């Protein structure tokens, strides 16, 4: 792709950036797909088995969610028409928040529009330039953006190294910050491994910090009744969940205390100034909540397949990170090698996106395999056979 630098004028920095990314095999482009079912898509007229979706339980195509979405649209219309503090709080929003709080074992819940928006706008509402934020080195970009906007001091502890976190806490409590916030993910989106939630709670209580946990990738597939790794645990000030992954829908929510909920309703710009989630989305989420607690067999099958795939790939000589979730990162290294393998799989009927810098560190480009409970054994074995053939040749 050629970008004409001679006629860009004050936009030449944009063309240069795009050219540099293309040169380094890091240029991203949008590719349209048409989903057929929970695990197959059509791309450029070709049917592919999808191993890149976060639809862990295949609920995005479930008829009960579709029907609930249609029914809510019929009853309430296609849009919520305003922000929550104007006329955008319908009875269905309130009832859904009450249901989420109850099933997660928390005092209250608050709906938000996306996980990215939530992290980016809640964090600056909790801390300021006199505060300190301590975060895992590999937290999601949305968390980093929220920290940047807060103007707080911040430090990163080594990935899942709570001894390092405690050393930072011991120093921090002596330095006069108005508050200290620990923030991390429970399941890391690019590594697939998990935080030690109980130890994080213990450290937070010991050093009197705020604790904010992003539970997006655990919700639906881990914890009691599949409600995540933070459900029914005290000592977490804010837990974030999203509905665009295992719930198969869209949107986000937090569970928290009534005090913090009331504070955010009054002081969180990303909540105050945005249109509420539409009724169709609320309907699909409500249907998913009714269903997810009963899907223990699907969760069991899914995690069994994770172990199966990891062991197979390790035996083939692939570098597979220590995932305990449906996210299985296969580290390839150089960007062009990851793209080449991704293209090979697509040519043979498998869709797996190559993840490259800056999403992951340089020289750690990877295939981010994501399993769904709807993947059949034949799908998984076909993927493994292709990776074996590629590795041998």
The predicted-structure confidence for 119-174, as pLDDT tens digits, reads as follows: 999 999 999 999 999 999 999 999 999 999 999 999 999 999 999 999 999 999 99
Q: What is the mean pLDDT of residues 247-256?
A: 98
CATH of residue 50's domain is 3.90.1150.10
Verify that 131 and 191 share a domain, yes or no: yes
10 part of a folded domain: no
Given the residues 136, 191, 214, 335, select the one marked as catalytic: 214
Active site residue 71: no
Q: Which residues contact 93 (CB under 8 A, 6 or more apart)?
A: 80, 84, 111, 276, 277, 282
Could you say which of 229, 261, 293 is where a domain stops? 293
Q: What is the mean pLDDT of residues 293-322?
A: 95
3-state class (DSSP) for residue 254: strand
| 153 vs 321, higher pLDDT | 153
Is residue 288 pLDDT above 90, yes or no?
yes
Q: Is the dihedral of CA 45, 47, 49, 54 positive or negative?
A: positive
Active site residue 185: yes
Verify that 46 and 115 share a domain, yes or no: no
| Structure token pair of residue 92 | 């269905």
The pLDDT value recorded for residue 5 is 59
Confidence band, pLDDT 50/70/90 cuts, at residue 4: low
Is residue 31 pLDDT above 90, yes or no?
no
Confidence band, pLDDT 50/70/90 cuts, at residue 393: low
Verify that 245 and 199 share a domain, yes or no: yes
CA atoms of 183 and 229, how far apart (whole Å): 15
The pLDDT value recorded for residue 382 is 97
Given the residues 55, 97, 185, 215, select the one marked as catalytic: 185
CA atoms of 180 and 134, how far apart (whole Å): 8
8 part of a folded domain: no
Verify that 188 and 84 share a domain, yes or no: yes
Q: What is the mean pLDDT of residues 194-198?
A: 98
Verify that 282 and 381 share a domain, yes or no: no
Domain span at residue 372 reads: 32-57+296-392
pTM: 0.94
Is residue 345 pLDDT above 70, yes or no?
yes
Verify that 111 and 260 share a domain, yes or no: yes
| CA-to-CA separations, 122 to 107, 135, 237, in angstroms, rounded | 18, 15, 12
Q: 357 and 365 in contact (C-beta within 8 Å)?
A: yes
Active site residue 37: no
181 part of a folded domain: yes
At 82-108, the pLDDT tens digits run 999 999 999 999 999 999 999 999 999
Verify that 231 and 141 share a domain, yes or no: yes
DSSP tally for the chain: helices H, then strands E? 13, 15
Verify that 382 and 236 share a domain, yes or no: no
Is residue 233 pLDDT above 60, yes or no?
yes
Residue 170: burial class (beta carbons within 10 Å; 0-12, 13-18, 19+): exposed
Verify that 102 and 232 share a domain, yes or no: yes
Q: How far is CA 347 from the centre of its chain?
A: 28
At 369-385, the pLDDT tens digits run 999 999 999 999 999 99
Q: Fill in the DSSP letter of residue 38.
A: S
The pLDDT value recorded for residue 35 is 95
Average pLDDT, the chain: 95
Verify that 44 and 122 share a domain, yes or no: no
For the chain, what percent of residues have pLDDT higher than 90?
Answer: 90
Confidence band, pLDDT 50/70/90 cuts, at residue 7: low
CA atoms of 176 and 31, how far apart (whole Å): 50
| 116 vs 9, higher pLDDT | 116
Could you say which of 293, 308, 338 is where a domain stops? 293
Active site residue 214: yes
Could you say which of 247, 275, 293 is where a domain stops? 293
3-state class (DSSP) for residue 46: strand
Number of domains in the chain: 2
Verify that 289 and 360 share a domain, yes or no: no
Cα torsion 355, 361, 362, 364 to 10°: value is: -60
Is residue 386 pLDDT above 80, yes or no?
yes
Given the residues 52, 53, 54, 160, select the one marked as catalytic: 54
Is residue 6 pLDDT above 80, yes or no?
no
Active site residue 54: yes
CA atoms of 345 and 48, how far apart (whole Å): 9
Given the residues 69, 113, 142, 189, select the one marked as catalytic: 189
The pLDDT value recorded for residue 365 is 92
164 part of a folded domain: yes
Q: How many CB atoms lie within 10 A of CB 273?
A: 10
Given the residues 93, 245, 312, 374, select the one marked as catalytic: 245
Q: What is the mean pLDDT of residues 36-43?
A: 96
| 356 vs 131, higher pLDDT | 131
The pLDDT value recorded for residue 25 is 81
Given the residues 62, 93, 217, 233, select the one marked as catalytic: 217
Q: Which of 228, 304, 290 is nearest to 65 (CA)?
A: 290
Judge if the upstream peptide bond of residue 280 is cis by omega within 30 degrees of 0.
Answer: no
Given the residues 140, 233, 312, 375, select the one marked as catalytic: 140
């Amino acid at each position: 792709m050629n970008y004409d630098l001679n006629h860009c004028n004050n936009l030449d920095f944009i063309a240069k950036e795009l050219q540099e990314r293309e040169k380094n095999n890091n240029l991203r482009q949008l590719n349209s797909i048409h989903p057929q079912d929970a695990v197959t898509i059509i791309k450029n007229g070709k049917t592919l088995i999808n191993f890149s979706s976060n639809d862990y339980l295949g609920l995005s195509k479930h008829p009960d969610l579709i029907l609930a979405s249609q029914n809510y649209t019929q009853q309430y219309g296609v849009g919520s028409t305003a922000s929550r503090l104007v006329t955008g709080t319908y009875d269905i929003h309130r009832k859904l928040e009450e249901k989420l709080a109850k099933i997660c074992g928390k005092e209250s819940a608050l709906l938000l529009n996306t996980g990215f928006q939530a992290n980016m706008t809640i964090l600056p509402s909790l801390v300021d330039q006199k505060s300190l934020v301590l975060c895992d080195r590999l937290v999601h970009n949305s968390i980093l953006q929220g920290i940047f906007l807060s103007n707080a001091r911040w430090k990163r502890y080594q990935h899942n190294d709570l001894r390092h976190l405690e050393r930072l806490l011991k120093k921090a409590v002596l330095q006069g910050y108005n508050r200290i916030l620990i923030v991390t993910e429970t399941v890391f989106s690019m590594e697939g491994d998990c935080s030690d939630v109980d130890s994080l709670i213990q450290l937070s209580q010991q050093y009197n910090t705020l604790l904010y946990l992003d539970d997006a990738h655990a919700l639906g597939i881990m914890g009691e009744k599949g409600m995540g790794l933070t459900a029914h645990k005290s000592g977490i000030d804010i837990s974030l969940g999203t509905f665009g992954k295992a719930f198969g829908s869209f949107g986000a929510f937090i569970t928290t205390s009534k005090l913090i909920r009331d504070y955010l309703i009054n002081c969180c710009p990303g909540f105050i100034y945005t249109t509420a989630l539409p009724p169709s989305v609320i309907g699909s989420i409500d249907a998913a909540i009714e269903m997810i607690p009963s899907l223990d067999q699907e969760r069991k099958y899914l995690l069994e397949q994770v172990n199966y795939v990891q062991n197979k790939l390790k035996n083939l000589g692939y570098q597979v990170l220590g995932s305990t979730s449906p996210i299985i990162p296969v580290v390839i290294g150089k960007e062009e090698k990851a793209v080449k393998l991704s293209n090979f799989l697509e040519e043979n009927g498998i869709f797996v996106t190559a993840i490259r810098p800056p999403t992951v560190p340089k020289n750690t480009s990877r295939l981010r395999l994501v399993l769904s409970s709807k993947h059949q054994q034949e799908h998984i074995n076909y993927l493994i056979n292709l990776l074996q053939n590629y590795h041998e040749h």
